[in-house]
Structure 1
Amino acid sequence: MINQFRKLNPINLILLLAYTFFMRIAIFYELPAQLNFDFLEPFARLLINVDLDNALSPSANIFIASTLVFIQALIFNRVANNHNLLAKPSFLPALMYVTGTSLFMPFMVLSPALITNFLLIWLIDKFLKLNKSANSITTVFDIGMIIGVGTLIYFPFMAMLLLIFLALLLFRSFNWREWVAGLVGFLTIFFFLAVFYYWNNNIVSFYQIWRPLGSKFPSVFKINYNDYLVLIPVTVIIILASLQLRENFFRSFISTRKAFQLLFFMFIVAGASFYLKPHFRTWHFLLCVPPGAVLLAYYFSNAKIRWFYEILFVLFVLSVQYFLFV
């Protein structure tokens, strides 16, 4: 299967679609009785008040989520290929993205994190274009606005602001206007939100938006480790990918090296940003899937021993299915 997705063959579109729904057999087999979907953060519902809790049945919720994952995988695949992140263009980024979004049951339903992954993929594309433009102030401003919109949907998305400065350090020589442009773009979204609150005589509620920033970091976590055994094969593949990347690091283009450094920091920031949400859910870690999928795809794109990487991927998929059903 890996060898098939190493090629840019149109038939892979059909195979990817079938694979997307195959990875969700477990949740279709045993549909939840009820699924809630909050499209926006509570503070943004004054702008758009959309109640989807009762509008979608569980089956419709999961079907739409699966369709969105498939679309995201195709967009993500195009971004990865356009920026030459792998040895050669392929469908592996899309395959790994779909696999990553199938690790846990909560990943398979509509959630704010799933919606913001559209913006996260867009951000990856924007970040990787920074070193290709002579004047990137407009691009950085756009990035700030994208993060602002993402924050309206899912508050922890705000943590992506850190990546603006990391990306500028990696890709650009210092220009204070570029550093300010990202913050101005982000604040522009919340300036208009504040104006809207003011027009509705509700400006006091606007200040409540920022209360999670003062939350204390939780000292105790309740974790059922059996739920996360599926991450063992993921960890093995990531270790193999890291060794492969280390071996090829200084033989890669400088832009590719910097891209992987940025994606590494994005993975860390996305995972750690759960701190910004007092009551986070497992689906929060969908934000880690795009940068993580690039690393997984990198290994399977560069692996040499066919029987080994094909068996490794099959075992990976079977372990995911096993833990989903069990």
Structure 2
Amino acid sequence: MISIFKIFNPLNILWLAILLFITRIGFIATVPDKLEFIFVEPFARLLVPVSYEYAFSPGLNVFLAGVLVLGQALLLNYLVNFYNLLGRSTFLPALMYVTLSALFAPFMVLSAPLICNFLVIWMLFKLFSFYKSDDAKSTAYDLGMIVAIGSIIYLPYIYLFLSIWIALVIFKPFNWREWVSGILGYITIFFFFAVFYYLNNKLGSFYHIWAPLGTKFPNRININYYNYLVLIPVLLLLGLYFFKLQQNYYKSYVQVRKSFQLLFIIFLIGGLSFYVKTEFNLNHFLLCAVPAAVFFSYYFINANIRWMYESLYLLLLISIIYFQFNTF
């Protein structure tokens, strides 16, 4: 399987679609009778004045989620190849994204984090462009607006604003105007949002939007650890990725090294921002799937022992399907 996707062949899109179905077959067989879909935060509910939470049947919900995942996989694949992050064109990023997006049942339905992954990929296009940009003010402004839109869809997305400043530190010399431009972009969206609140006589509650940001980081999370055994091959592959990266780090171009630094920061921000939501939901960690897919692709493109990397991917695939049928 890995050998097929190492080659940049448009026919791999068909294989991706088939794999998308295979990795979801267990969930499709046991799909609940009702699936809720919320794509804006409660404070933005006025923007969608109709009942939509159960507008899609469970089957249609899973199908549309699969279509979005396939589209995001192809966009991510184009991004990685465009910036030559892996050294050659390949379909591995798309394969890894489709695989990781099936890790848990909440990943396989329509959700706000799934929609936000389009914004994550869009941001990465702009963030990576900092390296060759003489003047990044307009790009930083655009990025601030993207983060604001993401915050309206899914509030924890607000923390990805930090990735704008971190990218400026990594890719460019300090220029305070570029740092301020990101803030102005964010404020622009919420200025119009405040006007909308004012027109609906709700301006007094506008500041409550950011109240969840004051939530303390939890000391403990109650989870069933047996349901997370599927992460064992994921953690193993992450460890192998860091080992390969350490081996080849100084052999890579400067832009590639800095890009992987930024991806790691985004991975951490996406993972650690889960506590903002009052109810812990696994679908939040879809925000980590984009950088993680690039990490896994880096390992597989540089792995030399075929039986080993094919076996590791097969182990991951079998684990995903097995735990869809066995939730303990």
TM-score range, shorter chain: over 0.9
- 2:95 aligned partner: 95
**Corresponding letter in the other structure for 1:91:** F
**Quick check: 2:34–2:54 contact (8 Å CA) kept in 1?**
no
User: For residue 39 of structure 1, what is the amino acid of its counterpart?
Assistant: F
Instruction: Name stretches of at least 5 consecutive residues in structure 1 with no aligned partner.
Output: none
Alignment of 1:135-146 (within 5 A): 135-146=135-146
Give the aligned partner of residue 80 of structure 1.
80
Residue 25 of structure 2 is aligned to residue 37 of structure 1: no
Q: Given the two structures, how large is their TM-score scaled by the length of structure 2?
A: 0.98
1:264 aligns with 2:264: yes
Native 8 Å contact 2:20 2:66 kept in 1: yes
How far, CA to CA, are the matches of 2:171 and 2:128 in structure 1?
A: 8
CA-to-aligned-CA distance 1:86-127 (integer Å, 9 cap, x gap): 121100000000011000011000000000000011111111
3-state SS of the aligned residue for 2:46?
coil
Aligned to 2:170: 170
8 Å CA contact 1:73–1:97 kept in 2: the answer is yes
Q: Which residue of 1 aligns with 2:2?
A: 2
Rounded Cα–Cα distance in structure 1 between residues aligned with 2:43 and 2:92 = 38
Distance 1:201 1:76 in 2: 41
The equivalent residue for 2:130 is: 130
- In 1, the alpha carbon distance for the partners of 2:153 and 2:280 equals 14
User: Aligned Cα RMSD in Å?
Assistant: 0.9
The alpha-carbon deviation at position 205 of structure 1 amounts to 2.0
Q: How does 1:215-226 map to 2 (within 5 A)?
A: 215-226=215-226
> How does 1:172-251 map onto structure 2 within 5 Å?
172-251=172-251
Q: Distance in 2 between matches of 1:54 and 1:236?
A: 38
The one-letter code matched in structure 2 to 1:204 is: G
Alignment of 1:257-296 (within 5 A): 257-296=257-296
Q: Percent identity?
A: 50
Q: Show the counterpart of 1:60.
A: 60
Does the alignment pair 1:160 with 2:160? Answer: yes
Aligned to 2:217, the other structure's residue is in SS state coil
What is the match of residue 121 of structure 1?
121
- Deviation per CA, 1:229-286: give whole Å up to 9, x if none: 1110011111111111100000100000000000001000000011221223110000
Tell me whether 270-279 or 108-117 shows the greater mean CA deviation.
270-279
TM-score (norm 1): 0.98
Number of residue pairs matched by the alignment = 326
Report the Cα distance in structure 2 between the residues aligned to 1:50 and 1:77, rounded to whole angstroms. Answer: 35
Question: How much has 1:220 moved relative to structure 2?
Answer: 2.4
Measure the CA separation in 2 of the matches of 1:290 and 1:184.
26
Tell me the CA shift for residue 170 of structure 1: 0.1
Q: Take 1:200 and 1:30, find their aligned partners in 2: how far apart are those partners?
A: 43
What's the CA shift for 1:50? 4.4
